[in-house]
Chains A and B, each alone.
Chain A
C-alpha cells in the first residue's frame, strides 16, 4: 500500500540537514534516529526530547451527528468527554479485531481524532462506511497541519518558555489552545507515548519548523535532543504501551492486547460490540512482559515456550536502555502468564532464556515531594 514516493512531513528537510537517518515508515519518510537510539532514549528519560509525529493522521469531525458517528465507530464512550478532554479509543471490526487505536479530542463543540499513520486511510474508510445518514462530516487535516511531541522531565519547562498559556493548569489527557513562539496558534495536549511527562502540539504545517527550532532553543539548557522513531519505539515499549501492527491488529481482540478498558460495552450498540462481548468473556490470550538473560533481541514473531510447550509469540522486542537488558512483549495463553515463570524464546533458531516480568518495564519516578 505504501506509495512509491514516500510522504514527507513539513520537518523533512530539517531532519535531512540535521543528520536524521531517513527510513520509510507507513509510507512516510521519517527519521529513525539522528545520533544514537540509546542517547535519544536517555535524553527523554532524563532530560527532554523532541519528536516529529506529523505522520500521524489528524481528522476533524463537524456537524450535529459527530458524537453519535464517533460512538458508533469507536469502542470508548465519547459522550463522557468534557470540553478540552482527550480519550483513548479503538476502532473495531465486525469480528472484534482492531482497525486502529486513536485519541479523540473534544473541543466542547467539535471532535478531532488522531490515528496511526499506517491506518489513516482505513480509519477514514471505516467512518465513511458507517456514516448511515448522520449529519456530520470528516475532514482530513493531516497534510495542512504538523504534530510535535515534547517529552521528558524538562518538557514542561522547555515548552512553557515558548507558550503563552500556563501548563500547570493543563491536566493529563486534556488540551488547550494558545500561541507558541510568539504568534503561532497551537493545540497543546498533555499526552505522549514515552512514559514521561510530556506534551503534543498541533500547529499549521507552515509553522512547524519555526516551532521546532524554538523548542530546540528553549530546551538547549536542559540538554534537549531531537529523537527519531527508534527511540519512540524503545520508550513506548519500556512504558508498556501497545503499538498497532504489534500488540494490536485486526486479528487480535483488545482484551488480549490489554486495552479492553477502552471498550465500553454498556454504551449501546457499536461496530464490533457483539463480537467484543464474546471476547471479553474469553480473550484467548494475555499480554506479558519478558526480560531476556542475553542481549540478543527477540523480534516480532519469535516463539515463546514454557516447559517445552509453545505458549505464544513475541509481538515487540527491543533493547531497553533503562534496564540495560533485552525486553519483549508477547501474547501467550492466559494460563501461562505468571510473573516469575521462566520461558524460552526462539530467537532466530537459538534458544534464549527469559523470565516473565510485570508490565510496564519502566515507571516514571514520582516527583520529589509527592505522596507515595
Chain B
C-alpha cells in the first residue's frame, strides 16, 4: 500500500477505502514510536466498530496503546497472521501488517480523516 494514497486518523491509524471496504492499519511513525512490539489484541469478525472508539490494543515493551477505529462499520476480516508474528506490523505497517477490514457504514466518513501530507505535517509539528 502506498502511504500517499491513505487517510490517517490523529491517533495514527490509516485507512484504505475500496468501495465500501476499509482496510485499517497503524502508521509507520506510530509503529516506530512503539518499538519492541509484543502483542496485539484485535476484534473478531462480526464485531461492530464506532469511529473514534477502541478496536483493540497493541502492546510494546514500553507501553500498552489503544488502537482506535478510524471509521465505523462491521469487521469482515481480521489479520490473523499478526497473532503469530507481530513483526509483520513492525516491518510492513502499510502491507502485511494491516489489522482489520471493515464494511463501512458511511464511506463519506473517510473525508474527515487527514490525507498523507496533512498527517506528515502533524507528526512533524508534534515531534
Contacts and interface: CB of A to CB of B under 8 A. Distances in A.
Contacts of B114: none
Residue of B35, B36, B61 contacting most chain A CB atoms (<10 Å): B61
Contacts of B33: 21
A348 B61 contact: no
B39 A33 contact: no
A299 B63 CA distance: 9
Contacts of A38: 36, 61
Contact of A37 (B57, B59, B62, B64): B62
Contacts of A37: 35-36, 61-62
Given A38-B36, A295-B39, A297-B38, 10 more contacts: A33-B62, A36-B35, A37-B36, A37-B62, A230-B62, A234-B61, A295-B59, A296-B59, A319-B38, A319-B61
A294 interface: yes
A38 B61 CA distance: 8
Contact of B38 (A33, A295, A299, A348): A295
Interface string A175-201: 000000000000000000000000000
Interface in A218-270: 230, 234
Given A32-B62, A318-B61, A296 B38 contact: yes
Interface in B45-61: 57, 59, 61
B59 A297 contact: yes
Contact of B64 (A32, A35, A297): A297
Top 5 closest pairs, chain A to chain B, by CB: A37-B61, A319-B61, A295-B38, A295-B39, A38-B36
A9 B19 CA distance: 54
28 contacts: A21-B33, A32-B62, A33-B35, A33-B62, A36-B35, A36-B36, A37-B61, A37-B62, A38-B36, A230-B61, A230-B62, A234-B61, A294-B39, A295-B38, A295-B39, A295-B59, A296-B38, A296-B59, A297-B59, A297-B61, A297-B64, A299-B64, A319-B36, A319-B38, A321-B61, A326-B38, A348-B57, A348-B64
Nearest to B33: A21
A142 B37 CA distance: 36
Nearest to A41: B61
Nearest to A231: B61
A36 B64 CA distance: 16
Contacts of B62: 32-33, 37, 230
Nearest to A230: B62
Interface residues of A, number: 19
Contacts of B38: 295-297, 319, 326
A296 B62 CA distance: 12
Residue of B57, B59, B62 contacting most chain A CB atoms (<10 Å): B62
A295 B61 CA distance: 10
A296 B39 CA distance: 6
Contacts of A234: 61
A348 B58 CA distance: 13
A297 B63 CA distance: 9
B42 to A, nearest CB: 13
B40 to A, nearest CB: 10
Contacts of B64: 297, 299, 348
A36 B90 CA distance: 12
B63 to A, nearest CB: 9
A171 B36 CA distance: 36
Interface string B26-37: 000000010110
A348 B36 CA distance: 20
B89 to A, nearest CB: 14
B118 to A, nearest CB: 24
B123 to A, nearest CB: 14
A232 to B, nearest CB: 12
Contacts of A36: 35-36
Residue of B33, B57, B59 contacting most chain A CB atoms (<10 Å): B59
A168 B2 CA distance: 57
B20 to A, nearest CB: 32
Contacts of B61: 37-38, 230, 234, 297, 318-319, 321
Nearest to A294: B39
A202 B36 CA distance: 32
Contacts of A321: 61
Nearest to A23: B62
A32 B34 CA distance: 12
Contacts of A230: 61-62
